[in-house]
Structure 1
């Protein structure tokens, strides 16, 4: 039987109601600076299992644990000097660290997909932080959308994908960053597992060393590594300067006159990241309305946030099962 999904405002009463839902083992979509997350008590096996069920997410794909501060994070994961330095530099913010799991962490094994590491971060969004404080525990929170589909950056995106499957959605407007957090593996040499809202160049500058590249789409060690992900209904082509007649063209920069949609008319990567998933939804809807054959994205530079944008677009364009 479908669940009645409540719409909750980001007021003290709405946050308190969301925390009550979470304490009862329910699920709540909530805003972070990156995308909306689907929160459940990371210590509660049933709540975490319901996250996988609501999203139809493969259980071999680990989840990110959200906590309010570094001190809380240290109760779940082992921090070395590099991890402490990065936490001091970039938390709260869009950086997830994959660290050795403390033996007495008390997290559901479903959160870590049975691995001996945990992905953990401290979000910067004030409503996310208020919810974590009100709840008083760690939240497992992947993106609040059906698995493999376009990530949500607004509350109505969450309702569109998950209404009837979760108890509530806490609405605090559009997300500022617009792409998921950068994931860095620190259980060995620093390894970029997923580009995201914190440019990898900033991490390299903080550590003083280049990052290794990692990630396995067949056996993920962190979220966001599946080959096909963020997929609209329409097919996607990338780096298109001349779209085909039957394609919806999404521009970037001033050289895309005639494009009905754009990630950033000025070519600003911060603006493009914030607009990415909402624009992908608009393009998908336009392709369906007009009967056009697909979506074509203009080239995006592979620097700064462009690396995260291109990562999401490559997964959106990947062959689907």
Structure 2
């Protein structure tokens, strides 16, 4: 395809004009396993998670890493919120170089392993520090493996994000959330025709209405405590009003106008491990500056008012406890704090 017949999103996916958005889901599927004979064995200090705060898929991995207490065994590198067509860059670090990997662009880790790597350079990605090569960028598998393969290094009181008794139901729900909501906002925002947009719009809000109804009688998606399903939905909800409602034309109903979803999102935002990973400024900068096809001027909106994220949610009336029999994570690791001006608290008068 030529550049006059296509547009691209930040994952390297393509949108043909007149067609609907299709995400490229061909990721590097290698896994880090709790097996000393594996190609990539679990080993504290060996791997570095590269996860831009702006990206919802990367944001998931930062949340799960924090909830499980893996900060001391898997280091975190954070590219800036904007990038060019080549790669995410470490422009927030001194000299524009990741201090552990010694590279300026995530692309270098991909090319070191695959010199002719043909797909998008995406986050999250895990890099093998000794060799400097990318191990995987399969975002869904990364968080599952944090829960199931790194158990020996979970903190005391870490929540069970993959409860065996409800796993089948949870996986079915997460498939719907991914196809209809996580990816649904992109399908709306990158639609190549009016017809494709309206179809995507209807699918997205049908799914949001379904989840709104589900949350009327339960505090979290699977019941009384947080699971992986909540992590996967939350990162889209956190970006909905600041970005997707306007930028992606998902404007039938704002998140703040869904009674249950809005209360649920605030409940999670105010829970350690969730809101303390959200950088609203980086989120807005990323979408409004990078997506030139959608926002040619690159102007970043000042609003919306974010103070409502800290208002009482009253979801505790439904019972349950966020961490079940576990406990909340401790303070955010030094150097990983979200700047105050990028938080909801900065909007409180």
- Calculate the TM-score normalised by the size of structure 2: 0.25
Higher percent of residues as helix? 2
Higher percent of residues as strand? 1
